[in-house]
Structure 1
């Protein structure tokens, strides 16, 4: 079934934009569980995304061995890559999180795109920080790309508070 859906995605008559409903269904098949169920995608893929149509089948993989998110990517179509969060099972075997809705509630951003941010890394015995600029909005605990002056590429950080982000632990 997954190969059939992936074939549809790769069909030459496909529109210039990837059908996100088909990606949603393919993610459910890859995960082996439906949207909102334990082990399945937490929420549908954001319909505001306009992903270039993939000339071959998109690649599906687990982000980590914990199976906490699915990575869907298409190296040929501009190299797009998206992450689909997976609902983890609670200790009693049911889906963790609110049962009323598969769409999680999103906290208000503490960092907004363009905000100056103090980027810090702290370990026992030392602390280092640098000034950066946020490249996107981020709620507390969410990952955010920040641009550090003099660096070639953005750095991934975790939003902590207004104007403050931490480097993730390695």
Structure 2
């Protein structure tokens, strides 16, 4: 019994480096990078309310992306996130969020005077710069922000804590 258990453990240990090498094989996207992108997008770690419910399945073999990943909320309830590789022929996947993820409508996630990232987004582009919130705001609320250039205040939609968006048509 001891001998077979030792062989089993030795076999698992011998496979472990090979499995790690497969996960980071050239031409494949690192699942850990997707986990980090989702955590950055939500502002919450894996398993925390508002963060990914669990890590990306390490068995997935997703092609490497030359462009940065595109992340967006899926649906009005913000119960999951769409992660896309914007390259031609790229892939997409949905990441479920941990229970309790939804913010209450009245709960501000940005406060007046707070530093925020302001993203000007349009069809196929996004430009970001630093700014300051001139009002409190909950997710999906429209607030006034001023960019670092101290120009005229802009109306921006609160996307997540510390991040607002100005859609450009």
TM-score, L = length of structure 1: 0.43
TM-score, L = length of structure 2: 0.43
Look at both structures and tell me which one has the larger radius of gyration over its CA atoms. Answer: 2
